[in-house]
Amino acid sequence: MKPGPKPQTAVTKAKRGTLRPDRDGGGAVQLITAGDPPSMPDYMSPAAQDIWMEEISRVMVSGVSEVDSSLFATYCSTEALVRAAFIAGEPPPAAYLTELRRMRELLGIAGPRVRQGAKNGVTQTENPFAKNGKRS
């Protein structure tokens, strides 16, 4: 960690009037918004295309856009290889399973981030620590 105060964002500097284009990027701040759905590449195998069609709705719900097309295509191709290994009765390579887990987390279709939402549809309305320190 560098000593001194934390660097300010370009938006904060612009509001303060201290934004210097020569140091702070020089361009306007662009927000990344949700775009088109991922587009299926032509090079995918038929098995990977089937997986694409199975998983596209789950991936779209998590906010994946056209920018993530390559990652999603890699996920579908790897998943097709793993399924083929299981069907053949062979264990898939451990590296494939590890990468599938990582890609699922990146795409937002599995992992801890997906499960962090409301548990059983119940949301927390009050602070469970509100009574700490109060003696009555």
Enumerate the β-bridge partners of residue 122. 119
Q: Which residues on neighbouring strands pair with residue 119, listed in sequence order?
A: 122
pLDDT at residue 130 is higher than 80: no
Report the chain's mean pLDDT, rounded to a whole number.
83
**According to the model, what pLDDT value does residue 111 have?**
73
Task: Let me know the angle formed at the C-alpha of 97 by 117 and 92, rounded to the nearest 5 degrees.
Answer: 145
Can you tell me the mean pLDDT for 19-38? 69
Do 48 and 77 touch, CB atoms closer than 8 A?
yes
Give 40-47's long-range contacts (Cβ < 8 A, gap of 24+).
Answer: 40/69, 40/73, 41/69, 41/70, 41/73, 44/73, 44/76, 44/77, 45/77, 45/80, 47/80, 47/83, 47/84
Convert the pLDDT of each residue in 35-70 to its tens digit: 688 889 999 999 999 999 999 988 888 888 888 899
- Going from N- to C-terminal start, the domains of the chain cover 46-115
In the predicted structure, residue 15 carries a pLDDT above the cut 80:
yes
Share of the chain above pLDDT 70, in %: 79
Report pLDDT digits (tens) over 102-120.
Answer: 999 988 888 766 666 545 5
Q: Is 119 helix (H, G, I), strand (E, B) or coil?
A: strand
